[in-house]
Structure 1
């Protein structure tokens, strides 16, 4: 639905009811991905496209029916595929198939949907399969505040909210299955989580072999990776082909000038005090999600002493993961990269980092306080 965010935001602010048709499933080749939407208001104005043109007329008619009094509040499903008899009939000439959910968006949905469409990073979780009374219900999650608003309640809200938060951190729209395991939400639901967010950043300081492996692992996890080092002979794109950018600059100077947020991971691999201390002093004062620094136990102790002398407070030092990574017995740069990214995942998702075989209860943690 974020493909038509500007119009949806305006319609919500104008308190204008509309029908929202969303691609909730794709089979084979299709022109547009899951999460793409078309909307039609009560005056017949339409915005968006879900097929590049070949099924738009049928979707438009379905939207108008859902907006009628008889269809108000009752989401409808439709499936569109290739028409062998007439390639210009209702069907996808590309040979794929689309599952489309059409629902009415009324005044009760406008406040939180308008918030989701206002340009900030956010997610909207939309129930697309399950109990009839839940299909079409939505939950809005704000990236900056963690706010959750919508028409889902109880265990369903907690489970759906957890999935939406995870996908928002990853910056990825996806359809997920929740519930049905008896541990939290007893009902099995299929939820499409629409996400509008930039890729989270991984800032790697130190153009060393470990940085090459970590940049590759970070890219695999969906981070936008930057490698920064003050030494131009080492900080080259050729040495770090998996990084999105390679920057030649003093680490603390680059960090002071670049954009970070609560999803940013800062990984300091230089283990050289002249780089580390000014960099970490700044990083520990920024609202980033993770800060880790490489080095031995001895290096760590000396680093803490120097940071304390640099007027870094004790509560700030508790944010520092040093020595960086989980205890996996890692030796090689590749193994170390797994150790570091495992710690980032555990920290981000409030995991213990312990073997699941040694735990009891649900495998996946549910958020608390909601």
Structure 2
């Protein structure tokens, strides 16, 4: 894991509750000018001084911790501005802007754990944040700060089902795992499965070319094929395209992809399933080595996953499309 995730903040709050340590949840509710963090960014501060999360490159975090500890002592939440317009004239943000932070002491453990349970079940969650309380929101819909509350949505973690063999699969799986994605590597080579499993990566052996050992996926998952030979795709790819995912992709040249599409059409795969398959994967064109391919593909997946995270509301049409 290269950085703190929103769910890490919630887990930190829950863990502190288990320890009997009081906490403060700090949420960025407004941005004035520029900011390196967006609205909804959070930080958790424990009564013993521990903290998780950040709002800058280290410019104001110590001040935020001090304010949070005072909030616990005072017993009531409030909003504080840092940067432009702040009463703390000695604290300035490098971007030159300002941010308003909501300090909510003693967030309800039950609400935090309900959100975590939903995320663990691969369901989105939303919390309504106020000065004096945190509650589970009835609708998974972002609601901006109105002076009294803000509703913040949390999305299930990025999960990647990567099918392939050789160094392309291992390089990509290792990089995605280091990034913090939930990686599931599916490979016909038992040795590769064992090597990846030793790194803590979930693996599944593919014993035959005709049956995909993956029966469940969701709209927060990506399915990528990293086989260089199309013989493993013939039966497995149509099955994968029938599963829900925000991204279906397979490596290969334009010529390879054209032949792939012809094979899918000849196999009577539904047109709407074929349309899900990307004609080009990754942000870097014509990659020639496993490391560059891994970076190129992971960057594209993260960018598209973040697009999901920035949806301000869920519509029946969007959910229906994602579940197709």
Q: Aligning the two structures, in what range does the TM-score lie when normalised by the shorter sequence?
A: 0.5 to 0.7
**Cα separation, partners in 2 of 1:104 and 1:235, compared to 1, 3 Å:** closer
**Cα separation, partners in 2 of 1:33 and 1:123, compared to 1, 3 Å:** farther
The one of 21, 24, 30 equivalent to 1:22 is 24
2:140 paired residue number? 147
Is 1:221 the counterpart of 2:188 in the alignment?
no
Per the normalisation by structure 2, the TM-score is 0.56
Distance 1:329 1:273 in 2: 18
Structure in which a larger fraction of residues adopt helix: 2
2:118 paired residue number? 120
Q: Residue 76 of structure 1 contacts residue 102 of structure 1 at CA under 8 Å; is this kept in 2?
A: no
The one of 267, 274, 280 equivalent to 1:310 is 267
Q: Which has the higher contact order (CA 8 A, sep 6+)?
A: 2
**Cα separation, partners in 2 of 1:270 and 1:28, compared to 1, 3 Å:** same
The alpha carbon displacement at 1:273 in A equals 3.2
The alpha carbon displacement at 1:236 in A equals 3.8
The alpha carbon displacement at 1:209 in A equals 0.9
Q: Residue 204 of structure 1 contacts residue 266 of structure 1 at CA under 8 Å; is this kept in 2?
A: yes
Secondary structure of 1:211's aligned partner: helix
**Cα separation, partners in 2 of 1:141 and 1:101, compared to 1, 3 Å:** closer
Structure with greater Cα Rg: 1
Distance 2:168 2:14 in 1: 42
**Cα separation, partners in 2 of 1:243 and 1:273, compared to 1, 3 Å:** farther
Is 1:337 the counterpart of 2:300 in the alignment?
no
The one of 276, 283, 292 equivalent to 1:319 is 276
Root-mean-square deviation (Å): 4.7
Q: Which runs of 5+ in 2 are unaligned?
A: 1-9, 27-42, 54-68, 81-101, 316-324
The alpha carbon displacement at 1:279 in A equals 1.7
Q: How does 1:40-79 map to 2 (within 5 A)?
A: none
**Cα separation, partners in 2 of 1:288 and 1:136, compared to 1, 3 Å:** farther
Q: Residue 168 of structure 2 contacts residue 290 of structure 2 at CA under 8 Å; is this kept in 1?
A: yes
1:35-92 CA-to-partner distances (Å, cap 9, x unmatched) read: 9xxxxxxxxxxxxxxxxxxx9xx96x966xx6xxxxxxx6599xxxxxxxxxxxxxxx
Distance 1:276 1:242 in 2: 26
1:290 paired residue number? 247
Is 1:101 the counterpart of 2:104 in the alignment?
yes
1:157-208 CA-to-partner distances (Å, cap 9, x unmatched) read: 6xx75xx45xx34x4xxxxxxxxxxxxxxxxxxxxxxxxxxxx322211121
Distance 1:304 1:270 in 2: 16
2:203 paired residue number? 246
The one of 194, 202, 206 equivalent to 1:237 is 194
The alpha carbon displacement at 1:337 in A equals 0.7
1:255 paired residue number? 214
Aligned residue pairs total 239
Q: Which runs of 5+ in 1 are unaligned?
A: 8-19, 36-54, 67-73, 78-98, 128-133, 172-199, 352-363
Distance 1:222 1:293 in 2: 22
